[in-house]
Structure 1
């Protein structure tokens, strides 16, 4: 029941993110066209791209929740890091294109912009982004897909602040009759936006790549696994364990091997150890696939 509730909350958060992106993206595009502002057009395109990526995340959430079958006996949890990798690649490509366009505008001598409209949009977008960050984090705090959305909206709030401050500086320059400098405000803001945002797709790509390559789970998850293993060792007076773990989407794979002396353990004793460790690991909140073994042969645990 808890798994069903978590998935429902995850989808509700993703749908809310899509709605928020649609409103802000449309507002930015309209404002960019009216004010002839590249930075607003860029922000609108970036936010609306987020709708496509959020829809991809929503589809991935539904696919990951599908029960294992004959064709996918281990389920479809790999779709989660794949979707996150696609998000990262698409966002990175958008930033590269926007940066190249901004450089071209600077080389061409800049462009006119309605700085007041950019200030107003920046403040509004920042407040809306912060509100969405707070709501998403509360709605589905344990979802990797929603965490990716939160990262994007948090970066969007910072980016909006950059827009507002940069455009306010442009207004001051205009008040000081430095109109030539104002012409470069729009493309420079785009370049600043790209610098602010570039960490987001790089982080998404790195996290997804590590999961797909079956790397060790995040440090906090690994520490929690070690903590539960130590509890079982203390309870049953077991030797140091050989622990292997990886995380794939919402699924946590754990293999724990204990090398014990011959003649001290039987199958029922091994079952008691296995049940105790599984109870502890299940509290971590992931879909758990765990193997716990006691063996007298070190080669079998290697």
Structure 2
């Protein structure tokens, strides 16, 4: 049995993108909190608080990216890629808690008879401005480094923020269009209802982030969109050397991709040099994947080893 390690694309792009996200987060967080306090809108305050918490989490992601870039050390011979799913899961838990608190507070406001009326025009202007900003940052992060779990989590946060801003925008526009017909009474419930709708739309994002943490830290199988390219390349190597389909296991932790491929061969026909050739070709085939691939490949004459 042998192990081969190859490095994927280096992570500086990840850190540059996280720094850009951190700056944008600080600007929008200040805007949201300030605008929400001035307008007396809980929905805008939720958006600002969500963004403010995101700023802290972005700083945590940036620190984790720097630590992971250091690579293996004597104390951590396999690196510290486990920080990536851990940080992603922490982000999910914090954001889920934020949504839960906001939903409970909005429910209390509704049961108390609604909130003071908020200018729909002010809310619409805020929603449009922040939605455009969040969508722009989301698009940038998606393109910066598709293989980065930290940037994926960051992009999910911005997408959630964009949804929240769009909810504020749509609700405010409806209030402007229907305000004269409905009268002042229903408008007292506009703000808390928008908060509840936003929370319902946001909840799936942190749930997925928590699930990602659990699967990776428990060494679960990688997602099919990650496994299939590996399967295709390993099968191609098997055909090239006249081997059958291997027993293949693929796991992912952060940027690190563990690939274990075991081929059953006939006794007496293969030696260690042959196994080395298969391993080198497999490593070459996997080299274009955007991950840090740790390959473990074995040729064996014992089928029971694959069980």
TM-score (norm 1): 0.96
The alpha-carbon deviation at position 5 of structure 1 amounts to: 6.6
Is 1:49–2:53 an aligned residue pair?
A: yes
Tell me what 2:247 maps to. 242
What secondary structure, in the 3-state scheme, does the structure 2 residue paired with 1:253 have? Answer: strand
Which secondary structure state, in structure 2, belongs to the residue aligned with residue 256 of structure 1? Answer: strand
- Alpha-carbon distance between aligned partners in 1 of 2:127 and 2:226, rounded to the nearest angstrom: 37
Structure 1 position 124, deviation (Å)? 0.3
Deviations 1:202-250 (A, max 9, x none): 0111111111111111112211111111111111101221111100000
Residue 108 of structure 2 corresponds to residue 104 of structure 1? yes
The 10-residue stretch of structure 1 (235-244 or 87-96) with the greater mean CA deviation from structure 2: 235-244
How big is the shift at 1:4?
A: 9.2
Report the alpha carbon displacement of residue 177 of structure 1 after superposing the two structures with TM.
5.7
CA contact (8 A) 2:47 2:164 kept: no
The Cα of 1:284 is off from its aligned counterpart by 1.1
Are the counterparts in 1 of residues 124 and 168 from structure 2 also a CA contact under 8 Å? yes
| Distance across 2 between alignment mates of 1:193 and 1:177 | 22
Residue 265 (str. 1) matches residue 248 (str. 2): no
2:139 is aligned with 1:134: yes
- Greater relative CO (CA pairs within 8 A, separation 6+): 2
State the match for 1:179 in structure 2: 184
Whole-angstrom distance in 2 between the partners of 1:123 and 1:251 = 39
Cα distance in 2, alignment partners of residues 249 and 38 from structure 1: 36
Contact 1:173–1:179 (CA under 8 A) maintained in structure 2: no
Structure 2 segments unaligned to the other structure (5+ residues): 1-5
1:227 corresponding residue in structure 2: 232
Q: Indicate the SS of the match to 2:247.
A: strand
Does residue 87 (structure 1) correspond to residue 91 (structure 2)? The answer is yes
Which whole-Å deviations, capped at 9, do the CAs of 1:173-208 have from their partners, x for residues lacking one?
A: 432361010000000000011011111100111111
Q: How does the TM-score come out when normalised to structure 2?
A: 0.94
Give how far 1:273 is off.
0.7
Which region of structure 1 is more displaced relative to structure 2, 262-271 or 66-75?
66-75
> How many residues are aligned here?
301
Does residue 207 (structure 1) correspond to residue 200 (structure 2)? The answer is no
Q: Distance in 2 between matches of 1:295 and 1:238?
A: 11
Give 1:17 deviation, angstroms.
0.9
Q: Is the 8 A contact 1:36 1:114 kept in 2?
A: no
Match of 2:258 among 232, 253, 260: 253
Q: 1:192 matched to which residue of 2? A: 197
Task: Indicate how the Cα distance of structure 1 residues 216 and 5 shifts in structure 2: closer, same or farther if over 3 A, else same.
Answer: closer
**RMSD after superposition:** 1.6
CA contact (8 A) 2:9 2:291 kept: no
